[in-house]
Chain A
Amino acid sequence: MKARIKFQKYGALRFIGHLDVMRYFQKVMRRAEIPIAFTGGYSPHMIMSFASPLGIGLTSEGEYFDIELTEPIASKEAVRRMNAVGVEGIHVTSFRQISEEKKATGMAIVAAADYLVGTRKGVFPQNLEELVEQFIKQAEITVLKQTKRSEKLVDIRSMIYQMEVRESYTSLQDSGANQIFMELAAGSVENLKPDLVMSAFCKFAGLPEDSITCTYHRLEMYADTGTENTRKLVPLESLGNDII
């Protein structure tokens, strides 16, 4: 039996890296006595797979990982137990049973992610809305993408699914009121990080590099249930059902 767990990451915990979050949850599983399955062999490990890792410094209310269970446990009870043994800064919000299909788990199905971008230092310009509109109207947005070995120019326009100014506000992120919302390609095929978009945007808007420092908050992660030609994004959570 497979389950999908959704959680938030905020506050001091945004400085905990992805590997440490994995270690954290391994220990949570034991403390909360979640009936998680192990691999066999001399050094058995928990069957657990995380969706797209969140960078250090980012907050989120849409993190996910999938686990294999040896026996069912009620969703409510599992969430309660995990939070009871957890720390401030990581909060489990759902625990749902998902399909047994191999392809349906973990990293493999992530297709997009939503982000809110705010400022920690400096403020966005007055005509932010206008600038964002013009930015997204471009047919091509080329950026210099640095990988470990090389640098290359890529067009990121097609990986930005949405981008607009929002006044919406989340308590999990400390940031000014004016925020930019963006929906970006994520996952193993195409993956776009919000800071790359922002640096392209700042350049486009003529904002000097050090004039603002942004905060990034991940809102949600999606799977694509559409066809090859039309995208149909659904939150990863919605692919599961509560265990009663």
Chain B
Amino acid sequence: MRKLALNDEILLKIEKPARYIGNEVNSVMKDPEKVDIRFAMCFPDVYEIGMSHLGIQILYDMFNRREDVWCERVYSPWIDLDKIMREEQIPLFALESQDAVKEFDFLGITIQFEMCYTNILQVLELSQIPLHSTERTEDHPIVIGGGPCTYNPEPLAEFFDLFYIGEGETVYDELLDLYKTCKAQGMSRRKFLEFAAGIEGIYVPQFYEPEYNEDGTMKAFHRINEHAPEKIKKQIVMDVTNATYPMRPVVPFIKATQDRVVLEIQRGCIRGCRFCQAGMLYRPTRERNVETLKEYALAMLENTGHEEISLSSLSSSDYSQLEELVNFLIEEFPGKGINISLPSLRIDAFSLDVMGKVQDIRKSSLTFAPEAGSQRMRNVINKGLTEDDIISGAGQAFEGGWTKVKLYFMLGLPTETEEDMKEIARLSDRVARRYYEIPKEERHGKCQITASSSFFVPKPFTPFQWAPMCTAEEYVERAYIVKHEFQEQLNRKSLKYNWHEADLTVLEGVFARGDRKCAKVLEEAYRLGCLYDSWTETFDNSRWIQAFENTGISPDFYNLRKRTMDELFPWDFIDMGVSRKFLEREWSRAMNGEVTPNCRSNCSGCGAAQFGGGVCYEGKN
């Protein structure tokens, strides 16, 4: 029988012991004696969140297809187990073999959002791996990071040996082969890193050194090892249809956030919303072949036994074969209790028809993401959705029997005025008014319009990377302005408004556009006990404030400062395909409230065409 890393006493004492026992359906077991490389793949959050992540499932599948690699999973232990592991000096272990991560060749960490950074330090420390790459010896695993936050890896630079910049499907094989060769020849860690630096898309932070101006901004970014390339080229898979896809994803015992088959129908987005980092990073839009997707859907449902399938993409309505795919799914699974979930759909006649078939109209709600209340503001952010789209979409939905609508907004967008803020409430009210235009006999009681706003965080490689943010107090003030305006509305009894935590936004802002100096704050905050910062029950802002004080680092420098157009950014050493020129152009168009058409209606020459495929070449061959 498999031996578990934790004894019964511990497992019976902690919450949800199933998080730590592995052995799930489709998890991969191998003989450690028969592989050359042991790879621990970590999502630095609790199991239920980490297990829901598609990217890890892709890499897990891809690595384990290789006979010479055994890839296993690691998640952050929840705070109850964290405490016990520290007290009893139990090293963090991988779920499959239950072996200590420190014995592995690689520890890969996917970095999906800034507020998991303290958990990265937790994973390293519990693994008994030195936090700083320069303190690691030949005995320690190579620590490699990947995921969207690595497009500005600098705040994390000293904690990682390598970063993989871009989509994981391209050069991992090359990296693993290289490692195997180096290991076989008994080469040093440093030699391996030097060779690795030669692989396109691999960034070895210790081979570079930033130089700062007196005001704290970057002056230069120096290469201090001759093997390090000047620029790191983002990796991207052009043939998404034939890229590895996990046909047998691991099925957790406990309910994960995504307890369903996830079908990624395309990568990228044609829309070009100026606040959206994913929309820029994953350019150009690449679609998966619909026939392949149908096969995947059937096979994955069969292999997992899941009762739900969800289509995933940044904007599903833009997938050219959507109707065919959705109709196929609806026809294929009647009466088998398979639910179909279709997030990120534009509300129109087609989507309403489909949703009417796959969900209970009474219970479900419609979602719109206007992102801003006023048309002026929506032009600034280049969100193509017009008020007319929203009102007429909602109108059709109301007439079809829906009564619940969710509206998503952002506050603190560049150039935002009080008028723009108030429009959030007014637009919500106009949606409600549309509902009450329906004759009373045909309505189903009251409608429920729920508006929520998050505070905008400017991200690297977006047209808004120059934008200043607000202070936490200012964010809350803005939320109050909106709240008061809601109370002024005619249909206020049918409206609900809530907003996100402002303190978190400030931190997210610091790390999103931070430099290497931010590592100190991060480490200090972690020492002070910060962990699971994205969880309300564990987030403690006072400790973060303390950490900034102790290290003499000011969040204002990163968030409130106005950046000049020619400022050198910490992330500028990455060549991400979309050109800086395009971003500059988009920033000035934003300032003028000018809309930029989407990739399909008119290419704006962002630079991503250099990858030689996707939407940029649609209908051109």
Chain A residues at the B interface, C-beta cutoff of 8 Å: 10-13, 15-17, 20, 23-24, 26-31, 38, 42-46, 56-57, 85-89, 120, 213
Q: What 13 additional pairs, Cβ within 8 angstroms, besides A16-B18, A17-B18, A57-B8? A: A10-B1, A11-B1, A15-B11, A17-B254, A23-B255, A27-B251, A29-B305, A30-B305, A31-B305, A38-B336, A44-B336, A87-B25, A89-B23
A57 to B7, CA, bound (A): 11
Contact at A38–B337, with CB atoms within 8 Å?
A: yes
Contact at B305–A43, with CB atoms within 8 Å?
A: no
A-facing mask of B1-25, CB < 8 A → 1, else 0? 1101000110110000110011111
Contact at B360–A15, with CB atoms within 8 Å?
A: no
A38 to B9, CA, bound (A): 40
Cβ 8 A contact of B306, one of A11, A20, A27, A42: A27
Say whether B177 faces chain A, with CB atoms less than 8 Å apart.
Answer: no
Interface size on B, residues (CB 8 A): 31
Say whether B67 faces chain A, with CB atoms less than 8 Å apart.
Answer: no
A26 to B255, CA, bound (A): 13
Contact at A56–B17, with CB atoms within 8 Å?
A: yes
A15 to B350, CA, bound (A): 45
Contact at B17–A15, with CB atoms within 8 Å?
A: yes
A73 to B18, CA, bound (A): 32
List 4 A-B pairs, minimum CB-CB distance, nearest first: A27-B305, A30-B305, A15-B17, A31-B305
Contact at B360–A43, with CB atoms within 8 Å?
A: yes
> A199 to nearest B CB, angstroms?
15
Could you list 8 examples of A-B contacts with CB < 8 Å?
A: A27-B305, A31-B304, A38-B335, A56-B12, A57-B12, A87-B23, A88-B23, A213-B9
Say whether B339 faces chain A, with CB atoms less than 8 Å apart.
Answer: yes
Closest to B251 in A: A27
A44 to B25, CA, bound (A): 24
Contact at A16–B253, with CB atoms within 8 Å?
A: yes
> B414 to nearest A CB, angstroms?
43
The answer to whether residues A12 and B23 also contact, given A20-B253, A23-B255, A56-B12 and a CB cut-off of 8 A, is yes
Q: What residues of A have a CB within 8 angstroms of the CB of B12 in the complex?
A: 56-57
Contact at B337–A46, with CB atoms within 8 Å?
A: yes
A108 to B474, CA, bound (A): 61
With a 10 A CB-CB cut-off, give which of A12, A28, A29 has the most chain B CB atoms: A12
Contact at B24–A44, with CB atoms within 8 Å?
A: no
Say whether B547 faces chain A, with CB atoms less than 8 Å apart.
Answer: no
> A212 to nearest B CB, angstroms?
13
> A183 to nearest B CB, angstroms?
25
Contact at A12–B22, with CB atoms within 8 Å?
A: yes
Cβ 8 A contact of B305, one of A11, A15, A26: A26
Say whether B498 faces chain A, with CB atoms less than 8 Å apart.
Answer: no
Q: What residues of B have a CB within 8 angstroms of the CB of A13 in the complex?
A: 21, 23
A17 to B17, CA, bound (A): 9
Contact at A30–B301, with CB atoms within 8 Å?
A: yes
Q: What residues of B have a CB within 8 angstroms of the CB of A86 in the complex?
A: 25
Q: What residues of A have a CB within 8 angstroms of the CB of B251 in the complex?
A: 27
Contact at A11–B335, with CB atoms within 8 Å?
A: no
Q: What residues of A have a CB within 8 angstroms of the CB of B255 in the complex?
A: 20, 23
Say whether B550 faces chain A, with CB atoms less than 8 Å apart.
Answer: no
Q: What residues of A have a CB within 8 angstroms of the CB of B239 in the complex?
A: none
A-facing mask of B290-315, CB < 8 A → 1, else 0? 00000000000111111100000000
Cβ 8 A contact of B2, one of A44, A56, A88, A213: A88
Contact at B254–A20, with CB atoms within 8 Å?
A: yes
Contact at A11–B2, with CB atoms within 8 Å?
A: yes
Contact at A26–B307, with CB atoms within 8 Å?
A: yes
Contact at B360–A42, with CB atoms within 8 Å?
A: yes
> A84 to nearest B CB, angstroms?
12
Contact at B8–A44, with CB atoms within 8 Å?
A: no
Contact at A20–B304, with CB atoms within 8 Å?
A: no
A9 to B309, CA, bound (A): 29
A10 to B21, CA, bound (A): 13
A31 to B302, CA, bound (A): 5
The answer to whether residues A44 and B337 also contact, given A12-B23, A31-B303 and a CB cut-off of 8 A, is yes
Say whether B134 faces chain A, with CB atoms less than 8 Å apart.
Answer: no
> A112 to nearest B CB, angstroms?
26
The answer to whether residues A24 and B2 also contact, given A30-B307, A56-B17, A89-B23 and a CB cut-off of 8 A, is no
A11 to B9, CA, bound (A): 15
> B275 to nearest A CB, angstroms?
36
Say whether B359 faces chain A, with CB atoms less than 8 Å apart.
Answer: yes
Contact at B8–A27, with CB atoms within 8 Å?
A: no
Q: What residues of A have a CB within 8 angstroms of the CB of B25 in the complex?
A: 27, 31, 85-87
Closest to B259 in A: A23
A149 to B564, CA, bound (A): 64
